Every structure is written in structure tokens, then in C-alpha cells.
Structure 1
Amino acid sequence: MTDSLPLTSLSARLAEHASALASAARSPLTAPDYLELVRRAQEIDGLAGQVLKLCVQQSRDAGHTWQEVGDLLGVTRQAAFQRFGKPIDPRTGEPMDKTVHMTDAAERALDIVTAVLEGRMDDARPSFNAEVLAAFTDEVRGNALATVAGLVGAFEGFGDGEPFVRRIGDHTVVDIPLRYETGEMKARVAFDMDEKVGGMHILPPETP
């Protein structure tokens, strides 16, 4: 598996795949097989992600801070840690599982956020856990949306980016870009271990 390869080997494989892609794309003899180019590019994307992850790990081992890593990547130190860190579960002393097991988390979150924004709470509520179901009344929804409107104006639609899904502790968290009259925001939906909504917020896009 590529996860266990050293940085030199991963970098060499990345260079080989990039060179092969460049050769296939610029072949003067025949038109390229565009699906084959997609396949090669996907391989490169996966390898590049592994190289980046290993470089971050080695930077941390060398004593660089999460702030330095985040500044270099253009994200907050918390966002860098969430993506590349290896948090330890204080309950067990073991590394926490960061694997996203909900394969439909993005689609479900998008449906739920759409229902809430459109006022179709009867469609959204079956996805809530007991705590959210009790707390997220129509009044709470209205007050929250009014607060957001006071900050950035009217909701205009979903942003251009794809939903961002990751595992944080025991929750699967999905961030969905939103577009408002005077700025960008994001909806955050947190699914608990039973795959029920355990939290929902509208936040500034820079919130980690």
C-alpha cells in the first residue's frame, strides 16, 4: 500500500505517473484517450495526497508547528490538524479513527440543509437525534436564520465548492458552502454514531 512507502519512493512514483500523463496528453500522433487521461490524473491526485500527508508528518516530526503548516497551506492550524493530525482518544489512549464510514454523508447533509433553509422541517426532523429534535424548534430555526440574514443578507444558493466530509471524534461532519447576498457562509451538519444529526450550524467559511 502507498501509505507505508517512504517519501522518496512515493515522490518517484508520483514523478513517473506525472511524466506518463504529460506524454499521453501531448502525443502528436493520435488524439489522446481522454478517459485514460482521467484515470492517470486520478492516480496522480491520490499519490500527491499521500506525498503531502507524509511531508506534513515529517515537518511535524522535525518540530514545525501546526500554525506553520496551516499558514503554508492557507488554512487555520485547526484545519491543518483535522486533516493531517493523529489525535489520541483520551478514553483509550489509542489513535482516533478518522475514517469516514458514512458513504452518503454529503448527500444526506445537503438534503437536510435544503429542507431546513426552505422551511420543510417535517422533511428534516426524521434525521435529527433526540436532543436536536427537542431543541431545534421552529422558533429556534427562525431566530438563527434571522441572525445570519442580519450578517450577510438573503440566502442566494449553494456555493461552488463540494461538501467537505471528515470524521471528528465520534461524529461525521459535513461542511456545505452557502452563498448569501453579501458574503459566503457554510452549513455544518454533524452526524452522531447512529447517523442521526447531532448538530447543525451556519458558520463563517473560515471556521475550522
Structure 2
Amino acid sequence: MDEIQIAKSSLDAAKAQLREAVRQARRDGRTWADIGQTLGMSRQAAFKRFGEVTNPATGQTIEGAVMSIEKIRTLTEQVFNYISAAEYESLEPLMHPDVRSELPAPLIAETWARVLADVGAKESYSDTHVSFPAGERIEEDDQLLGTVVGVTTLQCEAGEVMGRVAFDDQLRVVGLLLVDPAQSPLPF
């Protein structure tokens, strides 16, 4: 167990060292594109992982939330379980109030009916993962700014549908998308 603790401490120290190196690069005038390229990710991914934003109304730094990838994967599938079972009253508490008003139950039901007509009933999920809105996967829990997207492939009777759920930093649904897996580009 000691070796596990030592490895965990080393990993935490390396993450802190990387965060500080990114902060120093920003202070030195490096762009998010430069940092992203060095880290093998997009500038948006680099910013969402390491960025710091000041709220102009309060003057305080907006801290990124540590997001649990497993929780987001679970919530993503739960959202589509509720939709496919027409349990809209269970879905509503997960949704941001603004989204609730823009995506009322009748609209979600109508959209799901079109999915059923195209590919049949949902049978299972595959490749459920978390990504940035631009599509880059997030592989581990991390402190992130802003919106992340839970992505899954709904395996249906006669085909597949990609389901995307955008979550804010409080894990509220701020967007829903059901599309053909080959659809491109995607709005989030």
C-alpha cells in the first residue's frame, strides 16, 4: 500500500507542476494554441483544463469544478433512459431551468418518436464517454471550466443514434442532441 500512496503523491505533484508550468507559460505570453499544441490537445481543451477566468461583476477568479467522468457517463445514460421511458418528470430536475423551458417534455417526446420511427427502440449503450464540446475526449477526472459533453451511442433495434448531453459545471443538462453517428459538424 505504501507504493500506491507514493505513486499517488507523485501523480498529484506532477499535476500541480504541470498547472504551474501552464500558468507560467501564460504569464510569459504563450497562447492557448501554443500550450494546447505542446500538450497534444486543442486550445479549447487546454483552456478548459488550465484556464483561469475573472468574473467581471465580482472581480473574483472563477474556479473550475472537479468533474467526475464516471458520474457524467452515468448521468448521460440516465438522461436517455428517462427519455426512452417517457419519464420526463424524472428528467426535469436534471435540467437547467432555462433548458427546461426551451426543451419541454412534448418537444422531447416528439423528437424521441422520430428516433423510434427511424431506428426502433433503444436496446443498449456503447462507447459512453465524456468530451469537450469540440469533441476531444476527457479521460480522467480533472478540474475543468465550463461545459462538458456526455456522449453515447444508443444501440437500437434497427440502427444507432448518437446521444449528446451538455452539462454545466453543476452537472445540470444545458443541451441535448440526438443525431446520426455520422452527422458532422455538431453544434456541441
Q: Give the TM-score category using the shorter length.
A: 0.5 to 0.7
Alpha-carbon contact 2:66-2:141 (below 8 Å) kept: no
Task: State yes or no: 1:69 paired with 2:44.
Answer: no
TM-score (norm 1): 0.56
Deviates more, 1:66-75 or 1:137-146: 137-146
Partner of 1:134: 101
Question: Between Structure 1 and Structure 2, whose CA radius of gyration is higher?
Answer: 1
Q: What percentage of aligned pairs have identical amino acids?
A: 20
Number of residues of Structure 1 aligned to a counterpart in Structure 2: 162
Alpha-carbon contact 1:106-1:164 (below 8 Å) kept: no
**Aligned residue type for 1:124:** L
Partner of 1:159: 128
Q: Identify which of structures 1 and 2 has the higher relative contact order when contacts are C-alpha pairs closer than 8 Å and 6+ apart.
A: 2
Deviations 1:48-97 (A, max 9, x none): 11111111111112221100111222222122112111111111222223
Alpha-carbon contact 1:105-1:165 (below 8 Å) kept: no
More strand by share: 2
**Secondary structure at the counterpart of residue 201 of structure 1:** strand
**Aligned residue type for 1:179:** T
Alpha-carbon contact 1:70-1:80 (below 8 Å) kept: yes
TM-score (norm 2): 0.61
Partner of 1:80: 46
Of 33, 43, 51, 2:17 maps to 51
Partner of 2:111: 143
**Aligned residue type for 1:48:** A
Q: By how many angstroms is 1:121 displaced?
A: 2.1
**Runs of at least 5 residues in structure 2 that lack an aligned partner in the other structure:** 131-138, 179-183
Of 86, 89, 109, 1:122 maps to 89
Partner of 1:41: 7
Q: By how many angstroms is 1:158 displaced?
A: 4.3
**Runs of at least 5 residues in structure 1 that lack an aligned partner in the other structure:** 1-34
Deviations 1:172-197 (A, max 9, x none): x45324236789774322265xx7x3
| Counterparts of 1:205 and 1:46, CA distance in 2 | 36
Partner of 1:176: 150
| Counterparts of 2:142 and 2:114, CA distance in 1 | 27
Runs of 4+ in 1 over 6 A off after TM superposition: 181-185, 203-208
Q: RMSD of aligned C-alpha atoms?
A: 4.2
**Secondary structure at the counterpart of residue 71 of structure 1:** helix
